[in-house]
Structure 1
Amino acid sequence: MNTNDNTKEYDLIQRVVNHLTVQSFTVHDLGLMNGKMGIAFFFYHYARYQKEPLYEELAWALIEEIYDKIHDNMPTTMEKGLCGIAWGICTLLEQNFLSGDVDEVLSDIDHKIMERDPMRITDFSFRTGLEGIRSYVQARILLAEKEQSVCPFDNIYVYALERSAQKAGLPLKSVSPLNVIDMPELSETTDFLNLPLGLDGGCAGLALKTLYI
């Protein structure tokens, strides 16, 4: 890619980022795929890419708002629920975008997730069902092992989750949400003003993909 192409791509992504900066706090969805968690996830990556703390501050403000608005009636799902939010936090901690005691940060969410019996889940999909829940649980257990901390999920829950996944024919290792989310391509003809703001088919996903392709 020549210098002019690089300049055009930078200008395009900066326009998308400016749009996200202005609009991100208007999003009501707290989740990973379509909401504030996914946008915060992008801003942390962009802050590191640009070496610009302003975007890190923006991401942290979104995280604070998410924690303020989490409520008991939220679903446990990956798409719009607790598992997506927790996966985002877990991954940001693992990649050193965030710091702190992982158990303290995630313990309330982990306990909420364990309140739902995996053996009673009949939706096995990634976005709204068992596979997405299991993706977070596996990521969280791996982080606990890395941090040499106690497993946040008790043996009864983990056994029930794996038993249910086995019955559903799910693979032994769950995929990352980033392998499921639809991240569109950025080009000069992309009408990003009419895209949703989140990761899944939206501006945050488009911009994140552009950083790493």
Structure 2
Amino acid sequence: MSELLDDVLEHVYKGLDVEFTSGFTGIGWGLEYLLQSGFVEGDGGEVCEEIDKKIMAFDVRRMTDTSLESGLEGLLHYVLIHIRGSKEQLPFDELYFSDLYAKVKTLVDAGQREDSFLRLGSMYMHWYETRSMPDYPLDVLQFVGSPVVEQEQISVSPLGLRDGLAGLLLRQLLI
């Protein structure tokens, strides 16, 4: 498994950013999901080490986008699932955790964000303050919308998880 994963990640690294929909946080979340669900064996800290380094290279203090797709909400999903799966060593350094905490606290205290961001932000802040394992749900369906696709529209429908065919098929498989 690790050789296959190394090959995939080697080709994926070029040109990616932290976006959840098409970047490091989404890839990392998917890997952690597979590991924690028992679909593959391995240690998330080791498997995602290079992804974590790439993510820490982005300055979280300057992020203004709070969306799931390309902002802090997606980053929080990855950080929380990654912490949840940590066995021995935390995945990021203390400076990164501290910077993320300060940014999230500022936004949560302002309260002018979507409920999903506020929920994740509060969950992260609680973890940071107490270092007790977050009650983060291991559920891929939390990212799936409810697209309704007519048979004749399938060939022109988006492929994505959120509002596309991948999400529609996953929902049908798991529910």
**Is 1:192 matched with 2:148?**
no
- 2:97 maps to 158
1:180, 1:104 → 2: CA distance? 25
**Is 1:67 matched with 2:17?**
no
Residues 16, 23 of structure 2: 8 Å contact kept: yes
Quote the sequence identity (%). 32
- 2:170 maps to 208
Amino acid corresponding to residue 90 of structure 2 in structure 1: C
User: How much is the aligned-residue C-alpha RMSD, in angstroms?
Assistant: 2.7
2:172, 2:156 → 1: CA distance? 18
- SS of the residue 2:84 aligns to: helix
Residues 29, 82 of structure 2: 8 Å contact kept: yes
Q: Which runs of 5+ in 1 are unaligned?
A: 1-60
Residues 141, 171 of structure 2: 8 Å contact kept: no
- 2:23 maps to 81
Task: Please give the per-residue CA displacement for 1:162-196, whole angstroms capped at 9, x wherever unaligned.
Answer: 21111112331378664243242467x46322222
Structure exhibiting the larger radius of gyration computed from Cα positions: 1
Give me the TM-score of the superposition, normalised by structure 2: 0.73
Task: Please give the per-residue CA displacement for 1:105-164, whole angstroms capped at 9, x wherever unaligned.
Answer: 1100011111112111111222111111111001101100xxx22001111111211211
Q: Aligned pair count?
A: 150
Q: Which runs of 5+ in 2 are unaligned?
A: 109-117, 125-135
Residues 90, 143 of structure 1: 8 Å contact kept: yes
Amino acid corresponding to residue 98 of structure 2 in structure 1: Y
1:150, 1:108 → 2: CA distance? 15
Shift of 1:197: 2.5
Candidates 90, 113, 123, aligned match of 1:173: 123
1:179, 1:126 → 2: CA distance? 11
Residues 195, 202 of structure 1: 8 Å contact kept: yes
